[in-house]
Amino acid sequence: MNSDVIFLQVLTPMLRCLGNVICSGLDETAAAACKKKSLFPALGQLLESEHQHIRKECLWVLSNVTGRDVNIEFPKSGYRI
């Protein structure tokens, strides 16, 4: 099996799990995930994927982040949600 196919088969459920944790997880777990400095750069890279469903899952994760009542500072931007 192609390594790209395996990567996509793992990535899609991982993004869905992350979105669920952020959306409905325990407050401290969700806040910790949102404050992880590598989260937004990683999602930014995935938003440039050639696979539409990966971009869609990333946007769903980001929409869940914006629905959280947590103070998030984006890396290198100073913008806050």
Domain-wise residue ranges, the chain: 3-66
Q: Is 19 within 8 Å of 60 (Cβ atoms)?
A: yes
pLDDT tens digit at each of 81 positions of the chain: 677 777 888 999 999 998 888 887 667 887 788 778 888 888 989 999 999 999 999 999 988 887 766 565 555 554 444
d(CA 80, CA 72): 6
pLDDT of residue 32: 81
pLDDT of residue 71: 61
pLDDT of residue 56: 94
Structure tokens at 11: 């990535």
pLDDT of residue 1: 64
| Beta bridge partners of residue 80, listed in sequence order | 73
